[in-house]
């Protein structure tokens, strides 16, 4: 077994390399991988080819004595054990993390479900779309919760109004803005007709909306009866999906058993029992995997990747964007006092464009990404690189941005921007700058990334005023929500099927930018950040209703350029990844489109 490199030594070694290459004297080769890119459509094409092929025969005068052997069916096991990160909360109303939706994927039925990357109707029976693409009418199949209660159209309507409507999308639904802004229980454009029929009406046709909603039924009476206890224990969950959560030892494990009342119990999710094992320590995880205590590791980080047999690892496409987020609002939210100032000096410093550009230009993103996480690629855009443009080329190659920071950094330019910032703010030396807090997760990759970046700022810019704030994932997310940071290593999901959803994060009323809206409402924002630009908002909003590809891509390009030029969120790394499964595990599938644990066709064979 190879020994894991000590983190402090790795950072020191990386820093030495970065200082030598920061001026552009060296680059890191781009990583590409075709592994894991086969799709269900490809599989279907291969099957069709086999069925249409003409069999080859050989004539012989002798009697045919061929003996056909009866295949021996391999024994399967009923339990699958895997290492993964536990959810932040299973309160479906309060949930803000994809770690939560991974579990909801197991415990809840869905209107449409992504199965091995293909979005498929589940509870949805029929979907009728009007000619103007503004009215969507759904009928649902007979399906029940685990207690036998019938799933109704009202349950999907309740989820849509209570959870699906957001500041980003509410304007696209008739009455949605009024419902969202006033926290109403109903929405004019989302309503049920009868027990098995509901309707969604749009304010205008949306290019990215096809009606195939991967949403859950949620019973209003159950939610109200549970109140704040919703999702707190296995008994406080509403079950309609493939599995029931029977035990949850926080920080240790989650145990699931198959739900026989699930609508597709006979055909999908064949494994009877699942055990999610929580382990954040690479050595412990590796030992469990090698000893056969677990059958899979859902997310193989850098340390594990260096240890595990590469044959067990499968690459899945980039599904997250890492970036350096700067708190330019000047305030933090507190439960007792609401929004409070982070201090005049800190506020002025973080709002200074030249200071943010100095920090950004000082980072050699290529080298940092290559060393910190070998499963990642360096990022310099805000949308997935897999999105196609008007032709065969990727959108990011066809529609480029101007005046972007070099991926290898630029020390000379960084110092120039810093000097300009100091002059604008009235400082004569960096030693006079106020203390800044850099927030991130207390995990191997994130902490190494942040430590390396802070070391670069010290070496290139002479900054001694940045303090690293490592917190457990759940605590860090809450600190981010409350804007209790000056700088944050942000991670956002990337949807390769909807680039506008990604850009919607940075609209003034979007997921990472709704500062004014949340300030007015007196509650903290989800990933509240710093970008407020009317021109950007207009471009992203108009792109949703522009059906001409070239015109829409041009709008997206202009929006990206405005966002980049603001240096409020500096793209750093695209986090693809690997998962590891034992050779006796078949059918596990992982991709962004799965939106959950890919166990729909998972089989564990005796070994």
Q: Do the beta carbons of residue 419 and residue 429 sit within 8 Å?
A: no
Nearest to 394 by CA among 375, 371, 374, 377: 377
pLDDT given at position 318: 58
Domain co-membership, 352 together with 446: yes
| SS3 category, 562 | helix
Q: Residues with Cβ < 8 Å from 28, sequence gap 6 or more?
A: 366, 367, 369, 370, 378
Q: Do the beta carbons of residue 573 and residue 367 sit within 8 Å?
A: no
* Per-residue model confidence as pLDDT tens digits over 230-251: 999 999 999 999 999 999 999 9
- Asked whether residue 436 is assigned to any structural domain, the reply reads yes
Domain co-membership, 332 together with 307: no
Domain co-membership, 269 together with 322: no
Domain co-membership, 420 together with 540: yes
With tokens 């240096």, the residue in question is 567
- Asked whether residue 2 is assigned to any structural domain, the reply reads no
Q: What is the mean pLDDT of the chain?
A: 84
Q: How far apart are CA 567 and CA 357, in angstroms?
A: 6
Domain co-membership, 439 together with 507: yes
Task: Tell me how far CA of residue 508 lies from CA of 3, 167, 483, 528, 539, in angstroms.
Answer: 47, 9, 16, 10, 12
Domain co-membership, 217 together with 300: no
pLDDT given at position 33: 34
Q: Do the beta carbons of residue 583 and residue 92 sit within 8 Å?
A: no
Q: Which residues pair with 115 in a beta bridge?
A: 118
Domain C-terminal end among 193, 227, 261: 227
- Asked whether residue 211 is assigned to any structural domain, the reply reads yes
Q: Residues with Cβ < 8 Å from 531, sequence gap 6 or more?
A: 506, 508, 512, 513, 563, 566, 568, 569
- Asked whether residue 311 is assigned to any structural domain, the reply reads yes
Domain co-membership, 324 together with 268: no
Q: What range defines the domain where residue 586 resides?
A: 229-317+578-605
pLDDT given at position 515: 44
Sequence-distant contacts of 547-553: CB under 8 A, at least 24 apart: 547/205, 547/207, 549/389, 549/390, 550/390, 552/207, 553/389, 553/390, 553/395, 553/398, 553/399
Q: How far apart are CA 268 and CA 68, in angstroms?
A: 31
pLDDT given at position 485: 95
Domain C-terminal end among 185, 209, 227: 227
Q: Residues with Cβ < 8 Å from 67, sequence gap 6 or more?
A: none
- Asked whether residue 489 is assigned to any structural domain, the reply reads yes
Which CATH number characterizes residue 189's domain?
Answer: 3.90.76.10
* Number of structural domains in the chain: 3
DSSP string, 10-21: HHHHHHHHHHHH
> Which residues of the chain carry a pLDDT beneath 70?
1-72, 317-319, 509-530, 576, 591-595
According to DSSP, residue 404 is labeled: P
Sheet with strand 135-140: strands edge to edge? 124-129, 135-140, 197-201, 190-194
Q: How far apart are CA 607 and CA 196, in angstroms?
A: 46
With tokens 């644990």, the residue in question is 597
* H-helix or E-strand spanning residue 430: none
Domain co-membership, 239 together with 295: yes
Q: Do the beta carbons of residue 82 and residue 581 sit within 8 Å?
A: no
Q: HSE of 43 in the Cβ direction (CA atoms, 13 Å)?
A: 8
Domain co-membership, 251 together with 137: no
Domain co-membership, 586 together with 480: no
Phi, psi at 524, each rounded to 5°: -70, 155
Domain co-membership, 535 together with 403: yes
- Asked whether residue 16 is assigned to any structural domain, the reply reads no
Nearest to 272 by CA among 256, 258, 259: 258
Q: How far apart are CA 354 and CA 62, in angstroms?
A: 88
DSSP string, 521-542: HTS--TT--S---HHHHHHHHH
Task: Tell me how far CA of residue 431 lies from CA of 350, 417, 428, 461, in angstroms.
Answer: 16, 16, 9, 11
According to DSSP, residue 501 is labeled: H
- Asked whether residue 21 is assigned to any structural domain, the reply reads no
With tokens 């260096």, the residue in question is 306
Q: Residues with Cβ < 8 Å from 210, sequence gap 6 or more?
A: none
Domain co-membership, 358 together with 247: no
pLDDT given at position 11: 44
| SS3 category, 513 | coil
Q: How many helices (H) and strands (E) does the chain have?
A: 19, 24
Nearest to 506 by CA among 485, 550, 536: 536
pLDDT given at position 335: 76
| SS3 category, 593 | helix
Which CATH number characterizes residue 287's domain?
Answer: 3.40.190.10
Which CATH number characterizes residue 332's domain?
Answer: 3.10.105.10
Q: How far apart are CA 132 and CA 274, in angstroms?
A: 45
Nearest to 132 by CA among 209, 213, 215: 209
For the chain, the C-alpha Rg in angstroms (whole number) is 26
pLDDT given at position 120: 94
Reduce the secondary structure of 445-491 to three states and give it as a string: HHHHHHHHHHHHHHHHHCCCCEEEEEECHHHHHHHHHCCCCCEEEEE
Q: What angle do CA 209, 210, 213 make, to 5 degrees?
A: 85
Handedness of CA 157, 117, 589, 143 (dihedral sign): positive
- Asked whether residue 76 is assigned to any structural domain, the reply reads no
């Amino acid at each position: 077994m190879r020994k894991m490199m000590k983190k402090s030594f790795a950072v020191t070694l990386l820093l030495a390399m970065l200082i030598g290459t920061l001026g552009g004297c060296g680059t890191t080769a781009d990583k590409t991988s075709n592994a894991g890119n086969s799709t269900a459509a490809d599989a279907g094409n291969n099957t069709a080819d086999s069925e249409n092929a003409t069999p080859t025969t050989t004539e012989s005068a002798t009697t045919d004595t061929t003996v056909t052997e009866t295949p021996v069916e391999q024994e399967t096991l009923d339990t699958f054990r895997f290492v993964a990160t536990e959810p932040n909360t299973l309160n479906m109303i309060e949930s803000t993390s994809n770690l939560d939706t991974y579990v909801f994927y197991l415990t809840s039925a869905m209107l449409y479900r992504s199965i091995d990357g293909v979005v498929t109707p589940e509870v949805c029976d029929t979907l009728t779309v009007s000619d103007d693409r503004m009215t969507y009418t759904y009928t649902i199949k007979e399906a029940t919760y685990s207690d036998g209660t019938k799933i109704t159209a009202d349950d999907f309507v309740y989820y849509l109004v209570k959870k699906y409507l957001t500041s980003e999308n509410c304007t696209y639904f008739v009455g949605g803005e009024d419902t969202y802004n006033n926290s109403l229980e109903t929405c004019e454009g989302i309503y049920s007709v009868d027990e098995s029929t509901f309707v969604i009406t749009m304010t205008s046709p949306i290019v990215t909306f096809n009606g195939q909603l991967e949403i859950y039924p949620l019973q209003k009476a159950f939610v109200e009866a549970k109140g704040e206890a919703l999702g707190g224990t296995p008994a406080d969950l509403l079950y309609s999906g493939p599995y029931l959560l029977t035990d949850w030892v926080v920080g240790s494990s989650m145990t699931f058993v198959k739900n026989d009342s699930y609508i597709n119990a006979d055909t999908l999710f064949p494994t009877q029992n699942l055990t999610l094992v929580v382990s954040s320590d690479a050595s412990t995880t590796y030992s469990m995997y090698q000893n056969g205590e677990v059958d899979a590791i859902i997310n193989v980080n850098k340390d594990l990747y260096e240890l595990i047999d590469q044959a067990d690892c499968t690459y899945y496409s980039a599904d997250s964007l890492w970036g350096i987020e700067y708190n330019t609002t000047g305030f933090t939210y507190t439960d007792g006092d609401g929004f409070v100032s982070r201090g005049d000096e800190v506020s002025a410093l973080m709002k200074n464009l030249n200071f943010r550009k100095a920090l950004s230009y000082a980072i050699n993103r290529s080298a940092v990404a290559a060393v910190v996480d070998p499963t990642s690629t360096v990022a310099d855009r805000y949308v997935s690189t897999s999105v196609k443009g008007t032709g065969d080329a990727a959108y990011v190659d066809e529609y480029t941005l101007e005046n972007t920071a070099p991926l290898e950094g630029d020390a000379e330019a960084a110092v120039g921007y810093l000097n300009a910032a100091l002059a604008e703010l009235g400082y004569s030396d960096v030693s006079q700058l106020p203390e800044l807090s850099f927030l991130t997760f207390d995990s191997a990759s994130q902490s190494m990334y942040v430590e390396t970046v802070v070391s670069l700022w010290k070496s290139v810019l002479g900054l001694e005023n940045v303090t690293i704030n490592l917190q457990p994932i759940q605590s860090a997310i809450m600190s981010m929500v409350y804007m209790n940071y000056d700088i944050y290593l942000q991670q956002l999901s990337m949807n390769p099927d909807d680039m506008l959803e990604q850009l919607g994060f940075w609209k003034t009323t979007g997921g990472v930018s709704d500062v004014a809206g949340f300030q007015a409402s007196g509650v903290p924002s989800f990933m509240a950040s710093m970008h407020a630009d009317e021109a950007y908002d207009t471009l992203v909003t108009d792109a949703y209703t522009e059906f001409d590809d070239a015109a829409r891509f041009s709008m997206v390009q202009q929006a990206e350029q405005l966002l980049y030029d603001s240096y409020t969120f500096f793209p750093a790394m695209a986090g693809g990844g690997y998962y590891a499964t034992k050779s006796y595990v078949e059918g596990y599938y992982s991709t962004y489109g799965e939106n959950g644990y890919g166990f729909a066709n998972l089989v564990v064979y005796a070994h």
